Structure 1
Amino acid sequence: MMTRRLVQLFTGLAMYGISLAMFIRAGLGLDPWDVFHQGVAGRTGLSIGAVVIIVSFLVLLLWIPLRQWPGFGTLCNAVLVGVFADVGLAMIPSFSHLGGQIALLGGAVVLNAIASACYIGARFGPGARDGLMTGLARRTGWSVRVSRTLIEVVVLAAGWLLGGSVGVGTVVYALAIGPLVQLLLPRFMVPAAIPSQAPAQVPGQARTENAAEEAGETVATS
């Protein structure tokens, strides 16, 4: 079981980073957080992967007042998505033909959904950004949908002002990612251990597993 979880986690994070590179190379617009990452990268000269990593750890600092606890998967997410985004950008060429751009965008959305289902289903903890949304919802009493919308509107606006790419891909992602992850997540969700047979949990393990489920609900309800 643990081997499956680890393989699923690392595969999902690698695919997520590659999907980000595909979105960028498609040139038709990014999801809200990546609009922000791209905007910051353009202003600072850092690679998109480096910005993703830096922003991930800055967002984790916001978990402290929300009393959120990162899991193993949270920390892996913070590093590996950015690494594989840069790897993908080095391997995937840009497309100038609209047909190629549309195909790349479609592939990016599907790959991103599979990647999300993989790493959420591994139950090692949510990504930094998903944890921020679920933590804000828990502390304020707002719904996850409201918390997610508020945060993503803010980062989208900031990213656009910084020069990030907003376009049809932004809309396609917003409309498609929730239903796709909701469809795929049951296929990748690792069953929770049966309480009577499970070993004693280490501190924070229950919080990590609950956070993974909340992260799945965050994506599925968007």
Structure 2
Amino acid sequence: MRKIKLWRWAFYFAGLLVVSLGISMTIKGYRLGVGPWDVLHVGLYKNLGLTIGSWSIISGLVIIIVTAAFLKEWPKIGTWLNMILLGIFIDFFNWLIPDYETLGAQSVIFVLGIIVMGYGAGLYIAPNIGAGPRDSLMLLVVDKFGLSIKRARTIIEVVVALLGWLLGGPIGVGTVVIALLLGQLVHYTLPLNRKLLMKIIGETDEKVLL
């Protein structure tokens, strides 16, 4: 049991690290736009200072408080770690990755960033340790309004992206590409990483991840 728990947490932390790298890569390709939530975070950064990662943490905290108030329960520890570590890792990679001036270079790092994000999301979701704050908000909207997950996610991301755009965040064709493509990538990377995790821990029944 200890081995299973250790590997689950290893996948979770590795996934957060990888998905944060992907987010920072798309931010470095900002001419094409960034992900819907990052449009908001960049817009807030431009207007109010702090860092993009800090705004990711702050917005995540607000979402956790709102969803907890509606659900009348606090989220799992994995949700809190997602909120904090994602912001810290984003700031680290934004500092580590150099800025690119040409459209060609930004386009390359942007596309690679989407692929990295897709893999990282599948990696951290696979061990089933806890949904991120934004995923929790999506599930709350689904529950309260009876919408499909796809429609709830689309509505939330459109609203968030428009708000970020009004604040000066970089919205563009890449924003639409991320919104449409990321879920499709996770559709493939999640079962791939879950299968890998099950193989490593030597189990065949996914109930061990509950």
Give the alignment's TM-score, normalised by structure 2.
0.88
- 46-55 vs 186-195, which moves further: 186-195
Q: Aligned partners of 2:205, 2:24: CA distance in 1, in Å?
A: 39
CA apart distance, 1:143: 1.4
SS of residue in 2 equivalent to 1:165: coil
Distance (Å, rounded) in 2 between the aligned partners of 1:47 and 1:85: 9
Show CA shifts across 1:148-194 (max 9, x none).
12211111110000000111211221232121110111011255995
- Superposed CA RMSD: 2.0
Q: Does 1:38 align with 2:42?
A: yes
Q: Which residue does 1:22 correspond to in 2?
A: 25
In the TM superposition, 1:152-163 aligns within 5 A as: 152-163=157-168
- The structure where helix makes up a greater share of residues is 2
Is this contact kept in 2: 1:66–1:136, CA < 8 A?
no
Structure 1: distance between partners of 2:133 and 2:204: 25
Q: What secondary structure does 2:40 align onto?
A: helix
**Alignment partner for residue 88 of structure 1, among 93, 97, 100?**
93
Aligned length: 199
Q: For residue 72 of structure 1, what is the aligned residue in structure 2?
A: 77
1:111 aligns with 2:97: no
Q: Secondary structure at the match of 1:156?
A: helix
* 2: CA distance, partners of 1:104 / 1:157: 24
1:125 aligns to 2:130 (yes or no): yes
1:2 aligns with 2:10: no
* Aligned residue number for residue 148 of structure 2: 143
Provide, for residues 127-160 of structure 1, a one-character-per-residue CA deviation record: whole Å limited to 9, x for no partner.
0001100122112222112211221111111000
Amino acid at match of 1:184: T
Q: Measure, in 2, the Cα distance between the counterparts of 1:16 and 1:44.
A: 25
Task: Establish whether residue 100 from structure 1 lines up as the match of residue 102 from structure 2.
Answer: no
Partner SS, residue 22 of structure 1: helix
Q: Quick check: 1:39–1:163 contact (8 Å CA) kept in 2?
A: yes
Counterpart position of 1:52? 56
SS in 1 for 2:14: helix
Q: Percent identity?
A: 35
Runs of at least 5 residues in structure 1 that lack an aligned partner in the other structure = 199-205, 210-222
Name structure 2 gaps, 5 residues minimum. Answer: none
Task: Report the Cα distance in structure 2 between the residues aligned to 1:149 and 1:106, rounded to whole angstroms.
Answer: 21
**TM-score, normalised by the number of residues in structure 1:** 0.83
Cα distance in 2 for partners of 1:106, 1:69 equals: 36
**How far apart, CA to CA, are the structure 1 residues paired with 2:161 and 2:11?**
29
Q: Which amino acid aligns with 1:25?
A: K
Corresponding residue of 1:212: none
- The offset of 1:69, in angstroms, is 4.2
